[in-house]
Structure 1
């Protein structure tokens, strides 16, 4: 392995030795050793966090291997940020370098093998036999999270092993390569999860033996008849959400989260409706309809408000109805899960879902484009993270710019848009002018001019784009409009008190028939107030 001085000389200027020692002392005092124990790394070096975690884990059993892991993490950090320009990177690298220099000699003396390459290879074989093979032999009783952690640790150890053997020009044993290949395959299966382990080897886990969980998972894995992309690599236990990801380009972690989310929603309703569910029972259609009704309540209201037909079209073949409902629900949850700040704009999510559900219907029924003669495909394609980059990001950037303008400028509230104003754009049928795919030059994405002179000039020539019909206008009377019920109550209460005051001033007089008839006049006053409020809203 290269020396520390050679590592520091690569990629970027370093400080003189004297200044470096001073900085190391200050860093050690400020950061201490807890930075490596807690694995708090700068945001630009987040890739080395698993390596430091493994170093802490194996340090008790083999300090030299832990040293090699930290050294590899240091080299990787130097490649990621050679000039140490990121926030906290220079201090972090300096503190790590100080620890490496301090631990080099002690760990070298305690090394069992003649070279670092042989040392880490021997440790990898020991770790594989003790923690992976042993756990696999008792897989029925072992904690799955423990086995998942062992695979992840073995992956990191092999990454460090390759770097060390390359530096020493030592060949890796064939037995280690075979073990690494097996670990790599298993790592793709044993992925982190929240509640439900849904990989092929998780059938023996207790939570996966519940009948309601099995019924929902089996229903979700019904991918019969779906048009998969030609380049898609099929895998074991693929389901409807995998198909949605391949077609619309959702993020992998989002798909994993919403898969658990949907299964648990269905399982909870299913078990409430069928407390004595058989192990081989199918998902209850009534439970599916109940979840679907709650999920699309706001979307159907939005369609009804804008006088539009919803995109929830079901097939005539009864066997395909359940699959189609699950696809609609999965698509909505995937959009919601990846929308981030767009969740504060529920009608905006309805607009996005309306078009994407229509596209999905076209793909399922095999519609052919009149222009190209090919089958209908998503407007934004199915590239990796296409939904985040091409749908969410443009809308979020518009929100971010408006928020920045609201902080920077001191103009009227009507000159910039907040979440409510942007969401109000989707309360009108004019939002469909945005199109699908969304037009970059649409009014929704246009920004105000920053200069007051420019704004005045624009006002004289034409109306500003992006600020029509969906801007919340405020005035002095806005406070009265916002609290109209309170003001109405105060006026009616005042009328009652005046009537009582002119008729003896006693509260008991309210039961007098003559006084009670006069008090009933508050309903006439209330009707007049409501009429005035209605006329105000019509303006």
Structure 2
């Protein structure tokens, strides 16, 4: 075991150095240094523990023993622990990777027994992947959590892919569901699809189990649960459409048998967009804009629309390539967020000269946001920077913006100053001043707290109501003066620009 640890650390160091030769990544230099120190410390004990003279033969022996001791032993048990078996297969895959790397330096053939074992491991790792709560691979159907009727009903509903137009070159896999279809057509990340599959199943199952009266125990999804989850998911989207006076893209078919499938597709698409949006979740109306267009494209696909040029089913406007949604939709918006953040930190701009998440999201509160088009135009005003300021490209390098269509802040513009400390905490300051006034009165009339019960002293203490009224009047006059000052500044700025 110690021998494998040494070879594994050496392979890890070699791979890290190959990926980042200059050690410029975060924590890479510390990682390499720690590995080198550990290798130097355990070099002699590792050599003493060798059985074979060749590194390749030693690794083959270790791989064979590991496969028999862990994988075959777990397979032979009646109730194999799914988590332990998954971990054993993943470890075996890493072992074979190290074995291949060692074998490149020594011209020795790998034994057929090990190759057969690796083929089995490779096949199993495709299905026994990592999961959060629900093991959805075919070998885990007998797991306790997968026996709940609500879980089975949600899984069965998601696996209804009847009538969906798959691409011609698609290679089908067992137990495909509607989220796999959405991944293929819209180009979502594989791990995001796995996470949102569990998310949607658990949402449906949790609502399904709370229905009154109780639904039948047969594995069939209750329509009431489906409608309730859909209502909660699209509450903000429908409000956004109503606010902008636009019809939503949630159109359902006339054939009753397809309604449930379409609803699940709309919900799955929304969760996949939300799951892959990362920091764009701070911009909910921006997500509504993205979903509005993608749901419309989804409706076109489900309606059987065919491209007149190629004769194939239509695809998303940005293309359905692998990870296309991340690179062509999320990344451009995140880049503009990153540019604005860097401008605020490095250029020390005024607060009114850069946009944060709220300011960028306010762009989608108006019908003007539809000028972005779909796919979003790179030269739109949303992606522009103010004239005379430095923006940043994808590599973080400074460059001058090519246009002056910067939208800036749309609604509220905060003017930050030292006086905001008093303006934001006005109640606290007034309370402290009134307490100070009361304590001065008590101190002047003897200094005893019981003096407040004296009629004359109590009348003097009640004078702090007059002080509070005067301070509130002063605060109101000060706010009015500030408003007039900002209004005059706005008029002068507008006149100058005109």
TM-score range, shorter chain: 0.7 to 0.9
Matches within 5 A, 1:128-207: 128-138=67-77, 140-207=78-145
TM-score scaled to structure 1, two decimals? 0.72
1:440–1:85 distance in 2 versus 1, CA, 3 Å: closer
CA drift at 1:141? 1.8
CA drift at 1:414? 3.0
CA drift at 1:466? 2.7
Q: Is the 8 A contact 1:241 1:255 kept in 2?
A: yes
CA drift at 1:410? 4.7
Find the counterpart in structure 2 of residue 227 from structure 1.
165
Residues 1:333 and 2:271 aligned together: yes
Matches within 5 A, 1:103-142: 103-138=42-77, 140-142=78-80
Structure 1 stretches of 5 or more lacking a match? 1-61, 453-462, 487-505, 507-535
Find the counterpart in structure 1 of residue 40 from structure 2.
101
Residues 1:406 and 2:344 aligned together: yes
Q: Is the 8 A contact 1:414 1:472 kept in 2?
A: no
Distance in 2 (alpha carbons) for counterparts of 1:371 and 1:166: 49
CA drift at 1:87? 4.4
1:279–1:150 distance in 2 versus 1, CA, 3 Å: farther
Find the counterpart in structure 2 of residue 520 from structure 1.
none
Q: Is the 8 A contact 2:196 2:275 kept in 1?
A: yes
CA drift at 1:471? 4.7
TM-score scaled to structure 2, two decimals? 0.78
Q: CA RMSD in A?
A: 3.0
Match of 1:80 among 15, 19, 35: 19
Give the secondary structure class of the aligned counterpart of 2:42: helix
Matches within 5 A, 1:278-427: 279-369=217-307, 375-427=313-365
Greater Cα shift, 155-164 or 406-415: 406-415
1:295–1:371 distance in 2 versus 1, CA, 3 Å: same
1:126–1:332 distance in 2 versus 1, CA, 3 Å: same
Match of 2:405 among 451, 465, 468: 465
Residues 1:237 and 2:175 aligned together: yes
Give the secondary structure class of the aligned counterpart of 1:355: helix
Q: Is the 8 A contact 2:354 2:408 kept in 1?
A: no
Deviations 1:513-533 (A, max 9, x none): xxxxxxxxxxxxxxxxxxxxx
Deviations 1:152-191 (A, max 9, x none): 0000111111222232211111011011001011011111
Q: Is the 8 A contact 1:210 1:279 kept in 2?
A: no
Distance in 1 (alpha carbons) for counterparts of 2:354 and 2:221: 49
Match of 2:376 among 424, 438, 442: 438
Distance in 1 (alpha carbons) for counterparts of 2:409 and 2:345: 23
Q: Is the 8 A contact 1:446 1:466 kept in 2?
A: yes
Match of 1:257 among 175, 191, 195: 195
1:217–1:429 distance in 2 versus 1, CA, 3 Å: same
Deviations 1:373-395 (A, max 9, x none): 65321011111111111001111
CA drift at 1:418? 1.7
Distance in 1 (alpha carbons) for counterparts of 2:5 and 2:289: 52
Distance in 2 (alpha carbons) for counterparts of 1:424 and 1:281: 44
Q: Is the 8 A contact 2:343 2:349 kept in 1?
A: no
Q: Is the 8 A contact 1:211 1:277 kept in 2?
A: no
CA drift at 1:150? 0.1
1:339–1:86 distance in 2 versus 1, CA, 3 Å: closer
Find the counterpart in structure 1 of residue 464 from structure 2.
none
Give the secondary structure class of the aligned counterpart of 1:158: helix
Greater Cα shift, 259-268 or 396-405: 396-405
Distance in 2 (alpha carbons) for counterparts of 1:111 and 1:371: 65
1:273–1:91 distance in 2 versus 1, CA, 3 Å: closer
Distance in 1 (alpha carbons) for counterparts of 2:102 and 2:350: 63
Deviations 1:227-286 (A, max 9, x none): 111222211111000000001111111111100000000000101116755553300001
CA drift at 1:470? 2.1
Q: Is the 8 A contact 2:157 2:261 kept in 1?
A: yes
Find the counterpart in structure 1 of residue 448 from structure 2.
none
1:141–1:404 distance in 2 versus 1, CA, 3 Å: same
Distance in 2 (alpha carbons) for counterparts of 1:357 and 1:313: 9
Give the secondary structure class of the aligned counterpart of 2:254: coil
Structure 2 stretches of 5 or more lacking a match? 391-402, 428-458, 460-486, 492-498
Distance in 1 (alpha carbons) for counterparts of 2:241 and 2:58: 66
Give the secondary structure class of the aligned counterpart of 1:168: coil
Find the counterpart in structure 2 of residue 64 from structure 1.
3
CA drift at 1:197? 0.5
1:450–1:272 distance in 2 versus 1, CA, 3 Å: same
